[in-house]
Each structure stands twice: as C-alpha cells, then as structure tokens.
Amino acid sequence: MRAPNALFAPLPKRNTLLRHLSQNRWMYLFLLPGFLYLILFQYVPMYGVLIAFKKFTITKGFLNSPWVGLENFRTLFRSAQFMNVLRNSIVISLLNLAWGFPAPILMALLLNEVRQSAVKRTVQTIVYLPHFVSWVVIAGMVVNILSPAGGLVNEAIKALGGSPINFIIDTRYFRSVLISSSIWKECGWGTIIYLAAMSGIDPALYEAAIVDGASRGQQVRYITLPCILSTIIVVLILRMGSILSNGFEQIYLLYSPTVYDVADVFETFTYRVGLLEGRFSYSTAVGLFQSVVGFIMIFSTNRFARALGETGLW
C-alpha cells in the first residue's frame, strides 16, 4: 500500500513545465513572432560587433579581415571629432530629457482632468496624430514654418518689427528646433502609458480626498503622481539607456554642415564615416561604445531607483 504522503508528492519540474506550456500554448504561440523578431534582428546581428575589433574590408569579407584589437577604439577616442560628437549627443539628450520627458506626464495629467468624453477623445486624437506622420513630412513642415522667406514664425516676427531668423542654419537656435519638434511629434503618444497607469488608480482615493476637502491640485499631487510614480521611474530608466542615442532621421533631415558644431551626433557621425567613407570597423566601434554606455546608464539608474525604494526594471 502506498504511503499517505506519496499521494501528495509534488510533480517533477519537467512535468509541471510541460503542463504549464500545454495549458498556455496559445499565449506562447502569440508570443512566438515577437521572440523570432528579437532573435533574428536583435541578437543574431550582435555577432557583427566583432567587426569593431577587425580591419574590415568588403573584398576580404567578415571572416578573413585581420584582427586589430582595440585599435579602432584608440582611433575613436583620439579623434578631434569624437569629443564634439560626444558633447552634442549628451547635451541634446539632456535637453530632450529635461523638456521632453515631463511633457507627456503633464499632458496626461491635463487629459485626465477632462470630464467630457467627446472632448477628451478629440484632444487625444489630435495630439496622437503627429506620431504616425513620417519624420520626412514633419521635417518638411518644420522647414516651411521656420523659413525666413514666408515662414509662419518669421512672418510673425516681422509683424512685430523684428528681422527674419534662419532657425535651421543658426547654431543658436538649431537645438531648440530639434527639441521642440521632437516634443510636438512624440508628446501625445507618450501620454498613453501614463493614462493607462492613471486608469488603474482606485476612485475611492479621490472620493476620500474630496470628502477631506482636497482641491484638484492637491489630488494630483498626493494621489495621482504617487500612484503613477513607479511607471515614471520605469520609463525614466529606459530613457537613460538611450542617453547617447538621439535618433538619426530627425537630425539628418534638418541639419546641415553649418550646424555640425552643435548638431552632429553619433548616429549622423556613424552614417558619414561608416557608409559614405566606407570605414565600417570604425563606425561599428562607435556603435558599440554607444551600446556599452547605454547599458551602464540603465544598470546604474535602475540600481539608484532601487536604492531609493522605488520599483526598477529588475
């Protein structure tokens, strides 16, 4: 006769895993395209990082190109252009973080206060729309709006008695053009995450605050913001991972050699050096440097958030 405890013995881990996979097979089937995308387009190309440690030429190919160790990185760090590109990348990223990161939060807070559903949906549609427009179209609109010859902004400046300003080729204004156009395009789309987080807040908290006499501002300060703080922290950690990534399309479509001193970033620098000059190993070293810095920033920011008692990515 089997011992009583044997009837309640836990199943082997393998059987438990197989049962879990069988019960949730459709969920994993839906996840399969995403996993395949990550493997094929994110992980498999990582093997190409070895080019950064070689003197790669198309004629010799990937396998036959000679190893040069850290020579490409030494050339990069000694380059006069490197410091300028690094400075521009950091400055533009910090400006985007200072102005672009709070913008969706503020927009979400304002939309959350709208009580008429029709008005709220209309405003959401208007602010979401620029995200779905290509940077080619957005850049063309920005150039036309800021044009010194008939542009809307310069026409307003002339009407007020000022002189036209060529914002696109003026180093004093170009970064402001980048930041403002980026906020215009992505601010509405960024509100989706925060609105979703706000929808999960218990309405009883607001009801109790109203009974206690809290104003709308106090409700936002003491209820809404603390409840979505974990979401804000997670988004901030992810943003810090791209501290040296400013996007290629926007800057490439708007900048020109006259503003290289303030606008040339790693993406545009890699394009010019890697594709136009054919220095593939050098440009790969630049990309690897960006990735390493991004990993360090994500890890450090996550650890700092956990040290403050907030929820991190892991």
Domain residue spans of the chain: 52-128+189-307
pLDDT (0 to 100) of residue 24: 85
CATH code that applies to domain 52-128+189-307: 1.10.3720.10
Residues of the chain with pLDDT under 50: 1, 6-9
Q: Give me the helix-helix angle, 174-199 and 102-112, nearest 10°.
A: 40
- What pLDDT is stored for residue 4 in this prediction? 52
pLDDT at residue 174, rounded to an integer: 93
pLDDT at 5: 52
What are the structure tokens assigned to 59, written together? 């004629």
Per-residue model confidence (pLDDT) at position 41: 87
What pLDDT shows up at residue 1? Answer: 47
Question: Is the sign of the CA dihedral 101, 34, 302, 112 positive or negative?
Answer: positive
What pLDDT does 43 receive?
85
> Which pLDDT score, from 0 to 100, does residue 271 have?
87
Q: What is the pLDDT of residue 308?
A: 76
Q: What is the pLDDT of residue 121?
A: 87
Copy the structure tokens of residue 302. 């996550």
